[in-house]
Amino acid sequence: MDEKLQRILGDAARAARLRLGLTQAEVAKKVRLKSGVYGRVERGMMTPSVPTLRRMCETLGISSDVLLSLGAQAREETAPAPPPGAGEHPELSRIIHILQGWPPERLALLRKLLETADTHLSDES
């Protein structure tokens, strides 16, 4: 892969990661890379293997077309991510990203726990 394409891929991966509110370490873990290696991919200094590219697409929730800058959609999605808005706290984005892989039963249990905690914390206020 040429250096220009490596930079394009890295920029697209960084934009997608920031949009999700994730750290490089969090993405690296899900993609099964060392954090430093993933950082080199984002900086355009390293080319991921095809299996790693696929895991990056799955983790970042974007198509390979976006990571490889193929087509109009790719140009839109690789634009710099805006900073999180008032209702988009980075921690909430991280939690949502983790929960996306959970089965429905586990999500239902977590919802009940959160509702219980919310009720008790509201009573203390």
Q: Under CATH, to which class is 1-82 assigned? A: mainly alpha
pLDDT in tens, 9-41: 999 999 899 888 889 999 999 999 999 999 999
Q: Select from 21, 30, 94 the least CA-distant residue to 59.
A: 30
- Per-residue model confidence (pLDDT) at position 71: 67
Question: Is the pTM of the predicted complex or chain greater than 0.85?
Answer: no
The answer to whether the CB of 16 falls within 8 A of the CB of 56 is: no
Domains of the chain, by residue range, sit at 1-82, 88-125
Residues 6 or more apart whose CB falls under 8 angstroms from that of 24 comprise 17, 35, 38, 39, 42
